[in-house]
Amino acid sequence: MQDNKKVLLIIATMVLAFSIVMIIVLVFNFRDFSKSREYNKAYMVASLVEDGLTAHMVNGTMEKRDTFLNNAKESAGALKIWLFRTDKVIEMYGEGLSNESVQDDVDRKTIQTAKPQKVIDESLFKSTLRITIPYIATIEQNPNCLSCHSNAKQGDVLGGISMVFDISDARNESILSILKIIGITIIFILLFVYVANRFLKPHTTMLIDIRESLKKASRGDYSSRIKIKNNDENFEASKWLNTLLEKLENTTGSIEKNISLFVADRSKEFHDPLEKSQLIVEDIAMIYRFKKTIERDESKHVIYERLVKVFKDQLNVADLSLYEVDVKEDKRILIYDDTPDKFCDIANTSPSKRCRAYRTNSIVISDEFTDICQSCTTTKEYLCINYSIDENISLVLNIKPVNEQELHENKKAIGYIRNYLESARPVLQSRILTEILQKSNMIDGLTGLYNRKYLDIFMETKVNVYDAFAIAMVDIDFFKKVNDTYGHDAGDMVLKGLSEIFVNTVGENDIIFRFGGEEFLIFIPEVKSAVDTLKKIKDTFEDKIYKVNNESFNKTLSAGVSYYKEDSEHIWQVIKNADIALYGAKNGGRNKIVRYQDTIKES
């Protein structure tokens, strides 16, 4: 309603301003008309007086000019009338009558300037007009002035006439006319405002409703509607706008509800459904591109690298670490870490159990409770997220904010992080399954060691990164007797026992393959430790006691070792050399370790 009043006030002000201007114009026109009428009357009287005085002078009846002036005053309706002579006239004809002398400065100015003078004297109750007109000598009259005034020349002022008129009635008439005009104007303005209000009110009311609805819509509230009247000329426009608002309300609500089924909502700080929907759609688009990209990646480790890059680029996280947890083995494997200090204590033998996020399968945030995670010992702010990929693998993301503000920003991005983890989950499951299948195809089912197939792959694709290494061939002495004496189950038990000794004895980077029945190959990158490692294996295996059917026995092994580049620069030749050294150990009495030499090859 305020807008309607404003519009009417503006219109009324404009009309009033126009009316005031017109009234002012009329006032001046009335005033000028009144003065012009009196001016014309004065000039006419002055001319008549001049002609009358000339006639009196010619006829010699100058003594009657006083009566003549009184008659002229009464005829003109003047309050006062008088004549005045200049020095040249006085010089020839004397000062004349009492009312023929200069009376004031106006008369003097008229003589000096030879121009008529007009003076208005106004008071509250009376208004007068004083007009003084000069008589100027000229030869064009009949008789000409110079014939009687020989001491003057053409253009000299011989005298003048002053008249005072009462113009109060004209002024009062002007004021009365102006008041009538003002009254008519006010009535017109009121009528105009009334008509304008009747016409503008529906439009301004609709504009107010539109403004309020759009104001709410700008804040994300599309529930407002415009009031509709069937007989209103704005009916169609109001109906269309209400339909638009209703569609926006229903559509945005539906979009927000349905999209939230696909991604976690990280737009809680937005109240406008359109802004929220836009952000969610942008997230879906980015996640879709991310997923299409990782679907073409070869391994889970490449996917892990992409996840880390997304988190760092999108979240601007300076310090984070990502772990893969093997659920069955209760082992945590570091995938990525750029934190200056390992703020999560992993000294325990079961580091995954010490991680609160993994153990509780939840999100752990440092501001939830003082020292909520007792494994995080080197930082005050942290955020840890556990995410299960499948029943065997979980991921733990540790974020180390630099301050509380950054922690707050990281908390708002939890939904964003989970969206990406969720999109990567099926692809990771596929890659993990592929790795399991590949591993199962390359793992010996009995011993759990790599088989001959993986050895071929390893030697073709991975061994070339090593500048030097040792290859050891290990064989159980008289293994066939175990199978013949105690059965194949006993033989399997011996093979498993030796495999356990391998795993517990070799170095972290050593790799063990089951090369054949009871024959094993060990890849040892640390050449200097090769013989010592083989001795530990041999001694440990020899001391191990096996029990079958209340009988006890132990076994020994023989081993041959060869060195890459020292014995040969061809990988498969090094393997063959180790096998030759193994047979040298067997031929030399067994239960020993033999270093490859050319003499063995020749024997």
Backbone angles phi, psi at 155, to 5 degrees: 100, -10
Asked if residue 562 has pLDDT above 80, the reply is yes
How would residue 110 be classed by pLDDT, with cut points 50, 70 and 90? confident
Residue span(s) of the chain under CATH 3.30.450.20 come to 2-172
Cα atoms in the Cβ-side hemisphere of radius 13 Å centred on 211:
9
Q: Which residue(s) pair with 562 in the sheet?
A: 471
Asked if residue 264 has pLDDT above 60, the reply is no
Predicted confidence (pLDDT) per residue in 477-530, tens digit: 999 999 999 999 999 999 999 999 999 999 888 999 999 899 999 999 999 999
Helices (H) and strands (E) in the chain, counts: 19, 16
Asked if residue 229 has pLDDT above 70, the reply is no
Residue span(s) of the chain under CATH 3.30.70.270 come to 452-602
For the ranges 226-235, 362-371, 509-518, which has the lowest average pLDDT? Answer: 226-235
Asked if residue 77 has pLDDT above 60, the reply is yes
Fold observed for domain 2-172 = Beta-Lactamase (3.30.450)
Of 139-143, 332-336, 534-538, the range with the highest mean pLDDT is 534-538
Strand, helix or coil for residue 46: helix
Distance from CA of residue 2 to its chain's centroid? 33
Predicted confidence (pLDDT) per residue in 185-212, tens digit: 788 777 877 776 666 666 666 666 677 6
Please name the CATH architecture into which domain 452-602 falls.
Answer: 2-Layer Sandwich (3.30)
Cα atoms in the Cβ-side hemisphere of radius 13 Å centred on 468:
9
Structure tokens of 303?
A: 């996917």
**Which percentage of the chain shows pLDDT scores above 90?**
21
CATH number for region 300-418? 3.30.450
